[in-house]
Structure 1
Amino acid sequence: MISLKSVLAKPFAKRVYKSVQKWANKPIETQQKVFQDLINGAKKTVFGKDHDFSGIKTHEDFVKRVPVRDYEAIKPYIERVVAGEENILWLGKPEYFAKTSGTTSGVKYIPITKPSIKAQVNASRNAILFYIHETGRSRFVDGKMIFLQGSPVLTKKNGINVGRLSGISAHYVPKYLQKNRMPSWETNCIEDWETKVNAIVEETVNEDMTVIAGIPSWVQMYFEKLQQKTGKQISDVFKNFNLFIFGGVNYEPYRAKFENLIGKKVDSIELFPASEGFFAFQDKQNERGMLLQLNSGIFYEFIKVEDFFNENPKRITIRDVEVGVNYVLIISTNAGLWAYNIGDTVQFTSTKPYRIIVSGRIKHFISAFGEHVIGKEVEEAMKEATINTNIRVSEFTVAPQITPEKGLPYHEWFIEFENEPENISDLASKIDVALQKQNTYYFDLIEGKVLQPLKITKIKKNGFQDYMKSIGKLGGQNKVPRLSNDRKIIEVFHQLNLIK
């Protein structure tokens, strides 16, 4: 029997789709209006006065007055907001602080205002509505839905609620979905990730789960525990499960493993949320990339990755971006972040409309020898080398080996296999060739005998989970860095005896 809820979802989805098309079809004008609204809205703030917002009329004016900053550079302003001062980065006080654990900054407090949380909630809702509008499928709204997320328990700091972004978002689930949401509030509040996942398995195993969402690595853990409990593939446990929603990392390295765990192909929707804003969502099932959210109180600037570490790299707007170029994403928002580097790199797949993919992290790269290898390139190389094979990879990371016991330096790939290759050297060779095709610097270093081809080191089963647990980052929104420019992660692997 078709419910009223699933019937009403379709006209609602159509209305939202038309509304989004209005700004998507006027991208330059939309971003210009956002820019003016942000500058006008913050003229009377401490930051606005410090940077002469009253004199800003154009993007060029903004570039001259407001330098690109990361969290460390904007921290003196944020500390004043955390201390309870008003009108520092945005008028009044923020509604929330999203608490994140930075690798270099310790705990970060990212301000979230009423308009910025509203934009976050609307974007995540719209991603599902776009899927309904495109496919005509809405029956899933009658089933149970789960988002594997951090605890929704919030604390107070000088009158401002503090929590993880996913925990804050849990307070904004629409009323019409409240009965469908899983797990229970009590289970969601469990802090220890392994205990929480076990409790979620117990609560959901006999339910009609239709939508499952979360970071792929942690959803994989949930699926594996379900399989251990039932001895069945996920599609046999949840016969109506047909939609997987994910964000935070590239799904491709996990796809083969997921399809094996699930037992069938399911539709997926990719999201690009962060504590600093909800930047994009997948608007078409058969188009590569996610629709950039140009009307969400965020003004975007872009710097070419290869220019980023120059003294004065050129900052451009969407007007001047090109398809296929790697850019560092710089944002200014209605939560009071200004010319802020969130650390992600993106690539445009289309400019009509503006769609992006996340290509990596500006801090997560290997350039120990001048090769500038980024996350997207290693993921593409892995995908190309394992496609149409029985090889299944659970997780991997890459680090440089600068001082090998013998021979030339090389890139070392640390891989946890679900299904190992018969010939590990053959796989290494295929990955290496695929990486050379994508990155001319790497190709030149191999050809010039500066580097030797990459080597693979196997990691024990659940080794990456054990690593994340050892550094207190198991579950939630935490992700294993795909690559790094040093061997700090690898040192921990050795300490924990995780090398196979």
Structure 2
Amino acid sequence: MGLKALLSRPLAAYTVHRYRQWQRQPAATQARLLRQLARAAAGTAFGRAHDLGGVRTPADLAARVPVRDYEGLRPWFEQVKAGQPDVLWPGRPLYLAKTSGTTSGAKYIPITRASIGNHIGGARDALLHYVAATGRARFLDGKLIFLSGSPELERVGGIPTGRLSGIVNHHVPSYLRGNQLPSYATNCIEDWEAKLDAIVRETLGQPLSLISGIPPWVQMYFDRLMARTGRPVGELFPEFDLFVSGGVAMAPYLGRLRESIGRPVASIELFPASEGFLAFQDQPGNPGLLLRLASGIFFEFVPAERFFEPRPPRLTIGEVELGRQYAVVLTSNAGLWAYSLGDTVRFVDLHPHRVVVTGRLTHFLSAFGEHVIGEEVEAALREAGRQYPEAEVTEFTVAPLVSADPREPSRHQWLVEFAQPPRDAPAFAATLDAALRQRNAYYDDLRQGHILAPLQLTALPLGAFQRYMKSIGKLGGQNKVPRLGNDRAVAEGLLQA
């Protein structure tokens, strides 16, 4: 065992001990953090406008600061972008994390001197929890690959700006720099396909022990490796011991990733965002992600079904319940105040608090009143895959298909790219439909009443999703295909790809 692996074990034990200290009093930990955040930002422009100096309790925050998304806070973010100090947080941010996804263009999320540790510490603590839980640390002695955005940064308002993964790349600890792949020059390649080819060239023959990235883009890397060598990934990299994923739920991709690897490999799932590193899988085999309640983020949770009410309830960590869908709202030392993240979660443990990510507030399908969420379609697809194990799904999305004939009911259209199609596509579609009916009572009611017809399964040719993402300039990096939509924009783009 190498020195890095050896030293990681006492550090892992200390990290887990430190987490358990605040896990004993999660509500008190969060309440104390809120007071610290409000006190720190009381003198900022936002703090004066919202009387943050008077915030002592979550109720005080709710009375003074409404829940807003990026657009609601845009006037404040624009001042930050212009280089003005003391707007949302004291001073100016260290960085701006540029991320796409809003209807009105790119978002610029501040990363402050106080909040940078949240991003760096999240991945570190996830790995150390894995070491503590398993005793396995040899991966730290091998080569580590992080499939990320370019680390090259531009300046906006005098502030270094770029993709979050590129920013974090500048803060990889020095003791891991010698292990890190790909090279800086390769990481700076903007064209994703050219970058993948360069990564393949650099990594073949290297003792890779850890591979990290967003699952669909990791799968692209695996596909390139296998196309070049004709061998499974696990054979190419005998030391490959740990797969770390984040950005999207890993479950829909797991079957194909495992087949590409060709042997069992441990995995850790993360919940990172440009707004903060929220949670990570702390127990192998437990799908719940441990919320980081002492890392600079005060959490509020709004029941998802009530989110769009004028004044929805805002629950603290001490008020949440198991099994309910909540929209996540953040107040943090990055200068985010009652910020709607857009993600929905469901609590699977309360001691300590663990969640699974269930979808996006804006990525749901309710064109006919069914309000289907991402967790439900992913679970339905898993059930169909269980019954038809030969089917290998590369990617998918679901859209409404409104009938032009009033005598014919409308339906959902599932656009699925198969690496290996099911042996009986109509039966696979029927299984999908039945599985979704079991998971969503509204959809079942619409099907029973013949308001909706059985779903339509549309198999797409291999590469359709990659061609579509490339056509809209979002191939690779941290870009993700929406699972669900209330319009047909993504569906039509895919059909034309």
More displaced 10-residue stretch of structure 1: 431-440 or 276-285 = 431-440
Q: Which residue of 2 aligns with 1:443?
A: 444
Q: Which residue of 1 aligns with 2:278?
A: 279
Indicate whether 1:391 and 2:418 are aligned. no
Cα distance in 1 for partners of 2:19, 2:494 equals 46
**C-alpha displacement of 1:157:** 2.1
Q: Which residue of 1 aligns with 2:363?
A: 364
**C-alpha displacement of 1:105:** 2.4
* TM-score, normalised via structure 1 length: 0.98
Q: How does 1:332-411 map to 2 (within 5 A)?
A: 332-387=331-386, 389-404=389-404, 407-411=408-412
Kept in 2, the 8 Å contact 1:84–1:159? The answer is yes
Q: Which residue of 1 aligns with 2:478?
A: 477
Kept in 1, the 8 Å contact 2:272–2:278? The answer is yes
Kept in 2, the 8 Å contact 1:395–1:416? The answer is yes
Cα distance in 2 for partners of 1:318, 1:256 equals 34
Kept in 2, the 8 Å contact 1:305–1:326? The answer is yes
Runs of 4+, deviation exceeding 4 Å: none
Q: Secondary structure at the match of 2:318?
A: helix
Q: Which residue of 1 aligns with 2:233?
A: 234
Q: Secondary structure at the match of 1:418?
A: strand
Cα distance in 2 for partners of 1:247, 1:418 equals 22
Deviations 1:426-461 (A, max 9, x none): 011111111111111111111111111111001110
Stretches of structure 1 that go unaligned for 5 or more consecutive residues are none
Q: Secondary structure at the match of 2:466?
A: helix
Deviations 1:459-478 (A, max 9, x none): 11010000000000000000
**C-alpha displacement of 1:403:** 2.2
Kept in 2, the 8 Å contact 1:243–1:266? The answer is yes
- Paired AA for residue 19 in structure 2: V
- Paired AA for residue 484 in structure 1: G
Cα distance in 2 for partners of 1:343, 1:452 equals 30
Deviations 1:315-350 (A, max 9, x none): 111111111111110001101111001111111111
Q: Which residue of 1 aligns with 2:71?
A: 72
**C-alpha displacement of 1:93:** 0.5
Kept in 1, the 8 Å contact 2:300–2:316? The answer is yes
Q: Secondary structure at the match of 1:114?
A: coil
* TM-score, normalised via structure 2 length: 0.98
Deviations 1:251-307 (A, max 9, x none): 111111111111012111000011100000000002221000100110111111111
More displaced 10-residue stretch of structure 1: 432-441 or 212-221 = 432-441
Cα distance in 2 for partners of 1:220, 1:459 equals 17
**C-alpha displacement of 1:55:** 2.4
Cα distance in 1 for partners of 2:135, 2:283 equals 13
Indicate whether 1:150 and 2:149 are aligned. yes
Stretches of structure 2 that go unaligned for 5 or more consecutive residues are none
Kept in 1, the 8 Å contact 2:222–2:260? The answer is yes
Kept in 2, the 8 Å contact 1:208–1:239? The answer is yes
Q: Which residue of 2 aligns with 1:302?
A: 301
Cα distance in 2 for partners of 1:325, 1:449 equals 29
Cα distance in 1 for partners of 2:32, 2:9 equals 30
**C-alpha displacement of 1:219:** 0.2
Kept in 2, the 8 Å contact 1:71–1:105? The answer is no
Q: Secondary structure at the match of 1:11?
A: helix
Kept in 1, the 8 Å contact 2:31–2:57? The answer is no
Q: How does 1:164-179 map to 2 (within 5 A)?
A: 164-179=163-178
Cα distance in 2 for partners of 1:260, 1:251 equals 14
Q: Which residue of 2 aligns with 1:9?
A: 8
**C-alpha displacement of 1:404:** 4.8
Cα distance in 2 for partners of 1:64, 1:10 equals 45
Q: How does 1:94-133 map to 2 (within 5 A)?
A: 94-133=93-132
**C-alpha displacement of 1:494:** 3.1
**C-alpha displacement of 1:175:** 1.1
Cα distance in 2 for partners of 1:234, 1:54 equals 55
RMSD after superposition: 1.0
Kept in 1, the 8 Å contact 2:35–2:55? The answer is no
Cα distance in 1 for partners of 2:223, 2:431 equals 29
Q: Secondary structure at the match of 1:268?
A: strand
Q: Which residue of 2 aligns with 1:206?
A: 205
- Paired AA for residue 462 in structure 2: K
Q: How does 1:8-87 map to 2 (within 5 A)?
A: 8-87=7-86
Cα distance in 2 for partners of 1:280, 1:404 equals 45
Q: Which residue of 2 aligns with 1:486?
A: 487
Q: Secondary structure at the match of 1:319?
A: coil
Cα distance in 2 for partners of 1:39, 1:433 equals 49
**C-alpha displacement of 1:56:** 2.1
Aligned-pair identity in percent equals: 50
Cα distance in 1 for partners of 2:163, 2:44 equals 26
Indicate whether 1:243 and 2:242 are aligned. yes
Residues 493, 287 of structure 1: CA spacing in aligned structure 2 closer, same or farther, 3 A cutoff?
Answer: closer
Q: Secondary structure at the match of 1:341?
A: strand
- Paired AA for residue 228 in structure 2: K
Indicate whether 1:454 and 2:455 are aligned. yes
Kept in 1, the 8 Å contact 2:34–2:56? The answer is no
- Paired AA for residue 488 in structure 1: A
Cα distance in 1 for partners of 2:2, 2:110 equals 39
- Paired AA for residue 450 in structure 1: I
Q: Which residue of 2 aligns with 1:428?
A: 429
Kept in 1, the 8 Å contact 2:397–2:491? The answer is no
Cα distance in 1 for partners of 2:181, 2:98 equals 23
- Paired AA for residue 228 in structure 1: A
Cα distance in 1 for partners of 2:79, 2:492 equals 37
Q: Which residue of 2 aligns with 1:468?
A: 469
Q: Secondary structure at the match of 1:87?
A: coil
- Paired AA for residue 424 in structure 2: N
**C-alpha displacement of 1:310:** 1.6
